[in-house]
A and B are shown apart, each in its own frame.
Chain A
């Protein structure tokens, strides 16, 4: 791979330059067509909190610490540990995408260019990195990714993520992503990102909405979920 292509690959990674601590406001279009608003709080790659914002979802959270995730719901007294089978396609796709570090975790096996689109075949540098293989298609002229195909170790396609539009091309902040789980039947899931806040940026912190009422409070991403964890507030 030429140095130019290597630079293109590094520059096209939308989340490599993402803030270490961030808050993402987004929504996804549910299977029944209804829009589901939520926000994701992340600290580094290991801690994440998903807070569901729709009225009917109040009090519902997903907390992830490393590879372990828990669902907290008002109807369940204890957090429910989520197996991979429980991971909803949209949330999993987005979280997987947020954890993607192309330059750090992958090496390019090959790169092909056709009609202005460069397709990189990427392979994980270490075992345990998910997904083991990625097919990464980049618009050469704009330096923006077009789609990512997450593949299994056996090189079978597992999930397809398409970057449909961008709210900030310079900062590589997508506006709409469509994820399709190729191993399951079902319609594609559309994720709309409304805002991205850098939590280490004081001005962004000031722009945050007030914390939720105690009844809808969430555990902090830095805490291990426990029966009492629902009473803790987000950062």
Chain B
């Protein structure tokens, strides 16, 4: 028998017991669909988390004074000192690089915010450039009031966005004035009145209790400095991060005061932890799915062989070789895998589209403020990989029963009851 004949015969054999074949196909299809849906959820979660990190304030690259970055060390939440004095020149060099949409300067602050009625709450703040942040796709989640104006405010017209927990603690709303007190780089104190332009959420409950954002010019007035803590680089495509990192390092090499260029992934250990966790869950679920499919398929194949022992004896008696018998049974398994995977891919596609259309929401993750949309990504690799995996799993599951069937003695097989 030629391979084509074996394949055709195997397909016809599957049609002989339609109910058993349908059951096997259902198991394989469900396994494939489970892999497709899980991969879609994991991919969407990765993409969403990455976008939230990058557009929530990290940018794609960070440029900071190397010594200040080293002093900051692993404590990434500790504000960097305003050590970047010639940041405008550095920015000009960076904005000339390919893929760079904008480079925004940040000045980090810590201090106390006081309301007019004397309530005071400690804050962590960032002075930023709203116009550039908009070009970088940074997201401002306003709950009340308005965003910061694009232009730098004149002295005496300073404004700030307060995170909602901080605004609640101070008892202030948009339009009211709070006084910010912070330490200057020299170690003296300074104070600045700012009007609350709006109330925002950072998305992180803990940070919402103490975060505020103000225009860079206001932050520099408060800190009495012209320097900034770091520069954030926004790119038009996250996949270009590696190339942009190399280009930025090359453009900034040879400076007297070396600069550290850090990609967003190194500044977001949380992303790596979540990624590892999700991948672990995905592998765990995948293993369970594969084991279930293997067990179900093995059972079906063994049953199929046990019912066809005399048929196998007859085939052997009329000259069919052991290899051909084994190949026939393995081909049946491969067909089961291929057809089941095809059905599973269709089922998975339907599930992904259906769940996305349903607009379901999940409760906020621990520490987060807002519920998150349950959306699934379509992952072509999951469709192709799932199908190949199922075919491979079915073929592997068929190897042992097929080998046993091929080893049957003709006389014993013909006399099998």
Question: Which positions in A face B, CB cutoff 8 Å?
Answer: 28, 30-32, 34, 36, 52, 56-57, 60, 62, 71, 73, 75-78, 80-83, 85-86, 88-90, 189
Contacts and interface: CB of A to CB of B under 8 A. Distances in A.
Contacts of B116: 78
A162 B312 CA distance: 99
Contacts of A73: 189-192
The 3 nearest A-B residue pairs measured at CB: A30-B186, A76-B191, A75-B192
Contacts of B81: 32
A60 B81 CA distance: 22
B187 A89 contact: yes
B118 interface: yes
The listed residue with most B CB atoms (<10 A of its CB), out of A60, A62, A76, A82, is: A76
B189 A88 contact: yes
Interface string B121-144: 010000000000000000000000
A31 B187 contact: yes
Given A78-B179, A80-B179, A30 B191 contact: no
B275 interface: no
B91 interface: no
Interface in B213-234: 221-222, 224
Interface in B178-225: 179, 181, 183-193, 221-222, 224
Given A30-B188, A75-B190, A85-B112, 18 more contacts: A30-B185, A30-B186, A30-B187, A31-B185, A31-B187, A56-B224, A57-B224, A75-B155, A75-B191, A75-B192, A76-B191, A77-B177, A80-B114, A80-B179, A81-B114, A82-B181, A86-B112, A89-B187
Given A57-B224, A75-B222, A80 B186 contact: no
Nearest to A186: B187
Contacts of B21: none
29 contacts: A30-B185, A31-B186, A31-B187, A32-B81, A34-B186, A36-B188, A52-B188, A56-B224, A57-B224, A62-B189, A71-B181, A71-B189, A73-B190, A73-B192, A75-B190, A75-B191, A75-B222, A76-B191, A77-B193, A78-B179, A80-B114, A82-B189, A83-B120, A85-B112, A86-B112, A86-B189, A88-B183, A89-B187, A189-B187
